[in-house]
Amino acid sequence: MMTKNWVKIYTSTNPIETEMVKQMLTNNDIISVVISCQDSSYNMFGTIDLYVHKNCQKSALKIMKKKHNV
């Protein structure tokens, strides 16, 4: 679990999609962390969560909405 200074801004079951969103944020100087809660044997079960520092939450969500309608 992330510390209290990080907030979850995105959840998916698709690792490629999550990495694309992470890269988009990185390209805009926003540090993000991916936490996979998927079963290691069967990637069909569980989610992948993307977190940003709470100070970057508004900017990250704005970028995501503008670029990908996420």
Host domain of residue 58: 6-68
Residue numbers in the chain where pLDDT is lower than 70: 1-3, 39-44, 68-70
**Closest listed residue to residue 22, CA positions, set 12, 31, 11:** 31
Q: How many domains does the chain have?
A: 1
Check residue 66 and give its pLDDT: 84
CATH number where 57 lies: 3.30.70.1530
**Closest listed residue to residue 10, CA positions, set 67, 61, 58:** 61
Check residue 46 and give its pLDDT: 84
